[in-house]
């Protein structure tokens, strides 16, 4: 896969148009709640604390670059975590240490993965955990909170997956797997990620793999389409389902390939697909809360803001 900018990585769609089967269009979506407000800037990259009480996200609402913020669900008070003259994206809170945060930043020119051990007391104490010489984005914690998986540009321009062991200080490249936007299973050593089809229109699809110590096993395509893309995958709290966004699948957004359209959920094996959102606006970047709500980014209010819904799933 050719190297792409971080903006393109967020979507990774392609051009083309196709008919959409009628079964893709349920009558209505569950009620939605808006969690971020304002008339300027954009809010993206939602992540939730393990108890579902705190929302973390990146925003340009108060500056011309992305900073990371936290707020209580249902509250109005924002905590600004980063304030450098650079972009900070994709915050991920450690599942075992609720004040430890991983994120990526272009502070040094290239995109690096950083960890802050205590974002409340020492938010400016960043530790870079990725290697130099590549763009590294989208960290995700292992269930025990000792490792992060992320995607990285390799020497030949491919996006690959890497795992950083914070205890051993060792980085492992997951051999034989190219991919983007990885998310670690909440309980098991499994990773869901976005992978491009290396032909035709390069549509993205949802894949999973298993880690057996240092070995990659059972790399599987979970959900894909010939005429549309599946992007931004994320696990349910128990790891039994995967939520993701689609590109060029919605009839309401036919012919739109530079943005996502709707959110979908499937069982972890790719079965029983359910469409979650039906609004004409772009919905993407889903994150599943421990309370059962799916948080996501949408422009249904005019700007990119963080919303949530509690889907009714079989």
SS3 assignment for 87-126: CEEEEEECCCCCCCEEEEECCCCCCEEEEECCCCCCCCCE
Domains with residue ranges and CATH for the chain? 29-308 (2.120.10.30)
Query: One digit per residue, pLDDT tens: the chain, 314 residues?
Result: 334 455 545 444 333 323 333 344 455 789 999 999 988 999 999 999 999 999 999 999 999 999 999 999 999 999 999 999 999 999 999 999 999 999 999 999 999 999 999 999 999 999 999 999 999 999 999 999 999 999 999 777 789 999 999 999 999 999 889 999 999 999 999 999 999 876 555 678 999 999 998 899 999 999 887 767 889 999 999 999 999 998 865 555 555 455 567 899 999 999 999 999 988 888 999 999 999 999 999 999 889 999 999 998 87
Cα distances from 256 to residues 24, 203, 261, 272, 292, in angstroms, run: 16, 13, 8, 26, 30
Tell me, what's the pLDDT at 172? 95
* Cβ 231 vs Cβ 278: under 8 Å: no
3-state secondary structure of 43: strand
* Cβ 146 vs Cβ 134: under 8 Å: no
Tell me, what's the pLDDT at 176? 87
Q: Which residue has the tokens 């599946």?
A: 230
183 phi, psi to nearest 5 deg: -135, 125
Q: Which tokens is 264 given? A: 């979908």
Angle at 139 between CA 133 and CA 143, to 5 degrees: 135
Tell me, what's the pLDDT at 263? 94
């Amino acid at each position: 896969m050719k190297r792409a900018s971080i903006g393109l990585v967020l979507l990774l769609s392609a051009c083309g148009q196709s008919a959409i089967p009628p079964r893709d269009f349920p009558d209505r979506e569950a009620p939605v709640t808006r969690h971020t407000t304002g008339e300027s800037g954009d809010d993206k990259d939602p992540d939730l604390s393990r108890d579902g009480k705190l929302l973390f996200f990146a925003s340009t609402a108060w500056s011309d670059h992305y900073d990371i913020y936290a707020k209580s669900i249902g509250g109005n008070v924002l905590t600004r975590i980063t304030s450098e003259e650079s972009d900070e994206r994709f915050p991920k809170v450690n599942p075992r240490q609720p004040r430890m945060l991983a994120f990526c930043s272009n502070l040094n020119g290239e995109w690096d993965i950083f960890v802050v051990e205590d974002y409340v007391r020492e938010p400016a104490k960043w530790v870079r955990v990725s290697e130099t010489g590549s763009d590294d984005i989208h960290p995700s914690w292992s269930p025990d909170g000792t490792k992060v998986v992320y995607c990285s540009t390799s020497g030949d321009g491919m996006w690959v997956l890497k795992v950083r062991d914070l205890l051993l200080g060792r980085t492992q490249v997951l051999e034989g797997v190219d991919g983007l936007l990885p998310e670690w299973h909440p309980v098991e050593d499994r990773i869901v990620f976005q992978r491009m089809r290396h032909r035709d229109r390069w549509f993205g699809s949802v894949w999973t793999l298993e880690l057996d110590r240092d070995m990659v096993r059972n790399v599987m395509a979970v959900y894909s389409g010939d005429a549309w893309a599946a992007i931004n995958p994320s696990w349910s709290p128990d790891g039994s389902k995967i939520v993701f966004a689609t590109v060029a699948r919605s009839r309401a957004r036919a012919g739109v390939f530079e943005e996502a359209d709707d959110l979908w959920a499937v069982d972890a094996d790719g079965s029983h697909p359910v469409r979650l959102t039906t609004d004409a606006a772009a919905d993407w970047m889903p994150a599943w809360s421990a309370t059962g709500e799916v948080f996501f980014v949408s422009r249904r209010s005019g700007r990119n803001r963080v919303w949530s819904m509690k889907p009714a799933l079989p």
